[in-house]
Chains A and B, each alone.
Chain A
Amino acid sequence: MQRALVAGILLAGLLAYLGVLVLIRKMAFFSDGIAHASLAGVAAGVLAGVNPLVTALAASIFFAVAMFVLEKKTNLSSDIVIGLIFTSGMALGVLLMSMKAGYQPELIGFLFGNILTINRSDLALMIVLTFVIGSFLAANWRRFTLLSLDHEMAYLSGMNPDLFQLVLYVLLAVSVVLGIKILGVILVSALLIIPVSISKLISRSFKRLVFLSIGFSEVIMVLGLLISSQFDFPPGAVIVLTGTAIFFVTLLLRRA
C-alpha cells in the first residue's frame, strides 16, 4: 500500500498536468490508444520473462513515434491513425498472450491494475521517470502549452513544433504506461481526463486550470486508494469512480 501511495501521488500530478495538454489538443483518444496498444509490450515481457513494465514502456514509445510518423507522412487523420495503432497493438498483445498457456495473473493485473504487483524495481522506475518527465515538462510548460494552443504561433516563437509534438507524444505515452500498474490498461486514461474535466468546470484562467487539475488528481488518487484498501475493492475502479463522483458533485455545486 505504501508503494502504491508513493507511486500514485507522483503519477497523479504528472498525469493531471498532461491531462491539461490532452484537453487543449483534444488527444483523449491518443492516451487511450497508447494504453491499449501497450498490451503488446506487456505480453512480450511476460512471454520473454522480462519485467512487463519495461517492455510496455518500450512498446509505448514505439507506438507514439509510429503515430507521429503516420500522421505526418500520410493524409490519414489523427483519430484514424490512433485507431489503427490501438487495434494493432491490442491484436499483437492477444496473439502473444495466446502463446503462453494457462492463467496469467500478471497480465490481468495490467489489464485492470493491481497495486500489489508494484515491486521495488517498478517503484524505482516510476519515481525516476516521473521525476525526469515532470522536470522536463516543468522547464518547458510554456512551450508545450503554446504548441497545444496555437501550432503556428509556436513556430513563430522560434520553437520546432514538430520536434516538441513528437516529444509530447513520447512523454504522454510513457506517463500513461507508468499509470497502468495502478489503474490498468482499460482505466488509466481516466486520470488524464477526469481531474482536468472537474477543474474546467470551475476555472476561468489557465493557471487555475493547471493547479486545480493537479490538486483534484491528488485528492482522487489518495481517496481512491484509501477507499479501495479499506473495503478491499479494486483500486483502479475505485479511483475512477471517486473522480467521477467529484466531477458530478462539482457540477451540481456549480449549478447551485
Chain B
Amino acid sequence: MDKPVIEVQHLSVTFNGRTVLSDLNFTLREGEIAALLGPNGSGKTTLIRTVLGLVPYRGRVLIYGRPVQDALRNIGYVPQKFEFDRTVPITVGEFLRMPFPRISRRKILRVLHEVDLKDYEDRPMGPLSGGQMQRVLMARSLVNDPSLLLLDEATSEVDTAGAKSFYEIISHLRTVHRTTVVLVSHEIQMVYKFADQIVCLNRDLICFGRPKEAITKEVLEKLYGKEVHFKEHQH
C-alpha cells in the first residue's frame, strides 16, 4: 500500500467560538489526487490552511508522518486569494525566483511553458489578468518539484482550456512523479474525471472515498441542497 502523505486525526477548528471544522478523520496516500468538495463556507479553505499549519487547530495533522513545519519544502500551494500590490514593479521571473533562489532559469522557463506563459519571464506582474496571475501562482507552486500540491480553487479565474491543461499537468505529475494533490474545486465534472479521492465537507466530513462511490445524489443534496444534480458523462 502507498505510504500516507496527509493524516488528519480528530481535527477540529474553531474561530471565535464558532466551529468551522469538526472532528475530521481521513488519510491521503502518495500519488492520490484528492478533491475537497463543499458549499461556500464549508471549511475547505480552512482545511487546506490547517494542513499548511497556518491555522491553529485541535487534533493531529501529519505530513509524511511529521509535523507540517518539517515538510514545508515538499509542499506547493496556490491560495484562493492572493493579495498582491500590482503597482510593485517585479517581473514574473523575479517573482518565481524569490522563494527559490537556487532554482535554475531552465526550470523557471519550463514551468512557465507548462502553464502556458512561455514568454512571460521578463514581463511585469502588474498588468497581468486574473487568469494569468493564477497561472503564475500555479507555476510557482510547481517550481520546486513539490511532492504534495495544495490547490485552493487554483483554476477559478482561468478559462476552460487553461483549467483543463492544468488538470492534465496535475494528472501528469501524479503519473510520473507520484505527486499527491489536494484541490478545492467547484468543477464537479472535472473533479470526477481526475480525482482519486473525494473529501466532502460541510463543517463535518460528509463523505470520503472514490468519486463513483462518494458522489451520490444524497451527498450532493446534503452539500448543496436539492436543486443540484450531477450527471456522469461516459467517455
- Interface 1/0 per residue, A147-174 and B, CB below 8 Å: 0011011111110000000000000000
Stretch with Cβ within 8 A of A (4 or more), from B7-15, B34-42, B81-89, B182-190:
B81-89
Interface string of B73-99 (1 = CB under 8 A from A): 101010100101101111100110011
Q: How far is the CB of B119 from chain A (nearest CB, A)?
A: 15
Residue from the list A24, A142, A156, A206 in contact with B91, Cβ < 8 A: A206
- Identify which of B54, B89, B100 gathers the most chain A CB atoms within 10 Å of its CB: B89
Which residues of chain A have C-beta atoms less than 8 A from B122's C-beta?
205
Q: Is B89's CB under 8 angstroms from A200's CB?
A: yes
Check A208 for interface membership: any CB of B closer than 8 A. Answer: yes
Given A149-B88, A200-B89, A206 contacting B72 (CB threshold 8 A) = no
Tell whether A24 pairs with B85 under 8 Å between CB atoms, given A152-B54, A204-B91, A205-B90. Answer: yes
Determine how close the nearest CB of chain B comes to the CB of A146; give it in whole angstroms. Answer: 5
Specify which chain A residues have a CB less than 8 angstroms from the CB of B75 in the assembled complex.
Answer: 156
Q: B101 within 8 Å of A by Cβ?
A: yes
Our pick among A23, A142, A152, A158 for the contact of B98 (Cβ within 8 Å) is A142
Shortest Cβ distance from B29 into chain A, in angstroms? 22
A156-B99, A205-B94 given; name 18 further pairs at CB < 8 Å.
A26-B85, A142-B101, A146-B98, A149-B95, A152-B54, A152-B77, A154-B99, A155-B72, A156-B75, A157-B99, A203-B89, A204-B89, A204-B91, A204-B124, A205-B89, A205-B90, A207-B94, A209-B89
Which of A149, A155, A156, A158 is in CB contact (< 8 Å) with B90?
A149
Contact partners of B90 in chain A: CB under 8 A: 149, 205-206, 209
Asked if B52 is an interface residue, CB under 8 A from chain A, the answer is yes
B89 engages A206 (CB within 8 Å): yes
Q: How far is the CA of A204 from the CA of B87 in the complex (A)?
A: 10
Number of A interface residues, CB 8 Å?
23
Q: Which of B91-128 contact A (CB under 8 A)?
A: 91, 94-95, 98-101, 122, 124
A-B contact count (CB 8 A): 60
Shortest beta-carbon distance from A125 to chain B in Å: 33
Chain B's nearest CB lies how many Å from the CB of A224? 25
Q: Are A156 and B52 in contact (CB under 8 A)?
A: yes
- B101 surroundings in chain A (CB, below 8 A): 142
Q: How far is the CA of A26 from the CA of B83 in the complex (A)?
A: 13
Q: Which residues of B contact A (CB under 8 A)?
A: 52-54, 72-73, 75, 77, 79, 82, 84-85, 87-91, 94-95, 98-101, 122, 124, 140
B118 to chain A, nearest CB (A): 19
Q: Report whether over half of chain B's contact residues are helix, strand or loop; otherwise say mixed.
A: loop
CB distance from A214 to the nearest CB of B (A): 15
Main secondary structure of the interface of A (DSSP, over half): helix
- What mask results when residues 172 to 211 of chain A are scored 1 for a CB within 8 Å of chain B, else 0? 0000000000000000000000000000100111111100
Query: Mind listing 5 A-B residue pairs with CB under 8 Å?
Result: A26-B85, A149-B90, A150-B82, A155-B53, A156-B99
The 7 closest A-B pairs by CB, nearest first: A157-B99, A203-B89, A206-B90, A206-B94, A205-B91, A204-B124, A146-B98
Judged by a CB distance under 8 angstroms, whether A145 is at the interface is yes
> Is the CB–CB distance between B72 and A145 below 8 Å?
no
Query: Which of B52, B54, B84, B100 is within 8 Å of A149, CB to CB?
Result: B84
Give the residue of B54, B87, B89 whose beta carbon is less than 8 angstroms from that of A155. B54
Cβ–Cβ contact A145 & B98, under 8 A: yes
Chain B residues with CB under 8 A of A145: 98
CB distance from A79 to the nearest CB of B (A): 16
Tell me the smallest distance from the CB of A205 to a CB of chain B, in Å. 5
A158-B91 contact given A24-B85, A152-B54, A153-B99, CB 8 Å threshold = no
- B residues near A208, Cβ cutoff 8 Å: 89
Q: How far is the CB of B94 from chain A (nearest CB, A)?
A: 5
CB of B73 within 8 A of CB of A158, answer yes
Contacts of A153 in B (CB 8 A): 77, 98-99, 140
Q: State A156–B144 Cα separation when bound (angstroms).
A: 12
Cα A145 to Cα B99 with chains together (Å):
9
In the bound complex, what is the Cα–Cα distance between A158 and B98 (angstroms)?
Answer: 13
Q: Tell which of A149, A203, A208 has the most Cβ of chain B within 10 Å.
A: A149
User: Which residue of chain B lies nearest to A26 when distances are taken between CB atoms in the complex?
Assistant: B85
A60 vs B52: C-alpha distance when bound (angstroms): 35
